[in-house]
Amino acid sequence: MIKALVAVVRVILTVIVVGAAALMGAVLGWGWHGWIGAIALGTVGFGLGALLAANPELLLGVLAEM
């Protein structure tokens, strides 16, 4: 039961982190460079979000430095 709960929490965390990073990249890209920037920076945000979601210690370290 605990393993299932941990798995669900990890999935939710992954979706939130990846979605937020992709959205942030797309919004910044749209503001600076239009459609092409939104697509490019959204893709970069998706990749960085996936990296941060796969490595929660890195995400916590980044948040602690802010």
pLDDT mean values, one per 10 residues, the chain (66 residues)? 92 93 96 94 94 85 84
Q: What is the pLDDT of residue 31?
A: 94
Q: What is the pLDDT of residue 65?
A: 87
Q: Residues 45, 19: contact at Cβ < 8 Å?
A: no
Q: What is the pLDDT of residue 42?
A: 95
Q: What is the pLDDT of residue 55?
A: 87
CA atoms of 33 and 43, how far apart (whole Å)? 14
Query: How buried is residue 20: exposed, middle or buried, by Cβ count under 10 Å (0-12/13-18/19+)?
Result: middle
Q: What is the pLDDT of residue 1?
A: 86
Q: What is the pLDDT of residue 62?
A: 78
